[in-house]
Chains A and B, each alone.
Chain A
């Protein structure tokens, strides 16, 4: 009885560690080596379009609404203390430090991560990856690497767009609808937001999240069991694992950046 449980635990641990190793090897094989810009650049542009540009709409819409909701909720509390002039820093700091990077990463995992996993999983199931190897084309360099770089480049940019749109959304609700003074919205924000402490730390966060999400998505696809059930499970796992890992790392990064 108890040995069965122990065996089960051991097998799971070994599988997990082996998965870590395979994902590391995959990334190593994809990224390390002499880059070929002439071949790689068009592939990167294509992936920037698929991963970045097509995610822009969902990012803009959710950024706008999250900024608007923040302003609405913040206003109802702040007005009780007569401190509605501090609405600007409230919206800006919550977006720049937390919500921008985190919500972008979660949306990105759902919008682009799942698509990547399904795409690569299907390539594996239909033997396209083996076909490439047969033709002496390295699938890691041709399939994995451009997708990885496209994700790492586009997610911080998406987070920046998210933040800017969210702050404008907060302005829309706070100033244009609820009647907070427009001058004090911007000036208290400028007095309380620091370029390095807040804006750039947010960018660093979203770069870390981009690596996490895109790495998990690519690995789950590349490692998927090549059946329809295996691909569907891999896609689900991508979204769940990436979201949880992002939230966990967000706590660690916040503690390191703003905790001291």
Chain B
């Protein structure tokens, strides 16, 4: 086995491993498409976030437009504040838009459903760092059952 042959084989090995990594990064983890790209930040206050998690998707009509960046607790009112990172490409949401915590399927994971609002002369477009006022919290099944039983009692 000559040195040249060995070096060629080692080079092939490295190239093969690099190809495997590229496949894992691009085809399996899909990093190049959603990971990069400019985004801007919106905030929303909820009463209850249910099972929403960091990196949960934000969808408009089922299309993913961004992800939840962080979830913190407001230190004054003790309500959860969700920081949303939305793709720069979708930067024309008016301030009348509403956001709700929804569940995909009956048992699926929870996501943020963003509903664009109407536009007229007095309505402004949401900019980086603004808050969405109209929010609907997650439906907690136990509370719903509790209310139902309470109403039946009456």
How far is it, in angstroms, between the C-alpha of A199 and the C-alpha of B17 when the chains are bound? Answer: 14
How far is it, in angstroms, between the C-alpha of A163 and the C-alpha of B10 when the chains are bound? Answer: 20
Residues of A within 8 A of B55 (CB): 194
Among A154, A157, A186, point to the contact of B27 (Cβ < 8 A): A186
Residue A123 CB within 8 A of the other chain: no
How far is it, in angstroms, between the C-alpha of A100 and the C-alpha of B6 when the chains are bound? Answer: 26
Residue B16 CB within 8 A of the other chain: yes
Say whether B24 contacts A163, CB under 8 Å: yes
Restricting to B13-30, which residues have a CB under 8 Å from any CB of A?
Answer: 13-14, 16-17, 19-21, 23-25, 27-30
Residue A49 CB within 8 A of the other chain: yes
Q: A42-B3, A49-B10, A56-B13 are in contact. Are A167 and B21 (CB under 8 A)?
A: no
Q: A160-B20, A161-B20, A164-B23 are in contact. Are A52 and B10 (CB under 8 A)?
A: yes
Q: What's the nearest-Cβ distance from chain B to residue A190, in Å?
A: 4
- Count residues on chain A whose CB falls below 8 Å from chain B CBs: 29
Interface readout for A161-193 with B: 1 if CB under 8 Å, 0 if not? 101110100000000000000000010011101
Known: A42-B3, A53-B9, A167-B28. 19 other contacts (CB 8 A): A49-B6, A52-B13, A53-B10, A56-B13, A92-B28, A96-B24, A96-B28, A157-B14, A164-B19, A164-B24, A165-B20, A167-B24, A190-B27, A190-B29, A193-B29, A194-B55, A195-B31, A198-B29, A199-B29
Chain B's interface: helix, strand, loop or mixed, by majority?
Answer: helix
Residues of A within 8 A of B27 (CB): 186, 190
How far is it, in angstroms, between the C-alpha of A250 and the C-alpha of B6 when the chains are bound? Answer: 33
- Count residues on chain B whose CB falls below 8 Å from chain A CBs: 23
Residues of B within 8 A of A (CB): 3, 6-7, 9-10, 12-14, 16-17, 19-21, 23-25, 27-31, 35, 55
Say whether A190 contacts B10, CB under 8 Å: no
How far is it, in angstroms, between the C-alpha of A102 and the C-alpha of B7 when the chains are bound? Answer: 28
Say whether A199 contacts B28, CB under 8 Å: yes
How far is it, in angstroms, between the C-alpha of A48 and the C-alpha of B55 when the chains are bound? Answer: 40
How far is it, in angstroms, between the C-alpha of A199 and the C-alpha of B14 when the chains are bound? Answer: 18
Residues of B within 8 A of A167 (CB): 23-24, 28
Most A-side CB within 10 Å, residue of B12, B20, B21:
B20
Say whether A45 contacts B6, CB under 8 Å: yes
Residues of A within 8 A of B (CB): 42, 45-46, 48-49, 52-53, 56, 92, 96, 154, 156-158, 160-161, 163-165, 167, 186, 189-191, 193-195, 198-199
Among B12, B17, B24, point to the contact of A158 (Cβ < 8 A): B17
Q: A96-B24, A193-B28 are in contact. Are A160 and B10 (CB under 8 A)?
A: no
Q: What's the nearest-Cβ distance from chain B to residue A160, in Å?
A: 4
Q: A56-B16, A160-B17 are in contact. Are A190 and B28 (CB under 8 A)?
A: yes
Say whether B24 contacts A48, CB under 8 Å: no
Q: What's the nearest-Cβ distance from chain A to residue B119, in Å?
A: 32
Residue of B nearest to A167 (CB): B28
Among A45, A161, A194, point to the contact of B16 (Cβ < 8 A): A161
Residue of A nearest to B19 (CB): A164
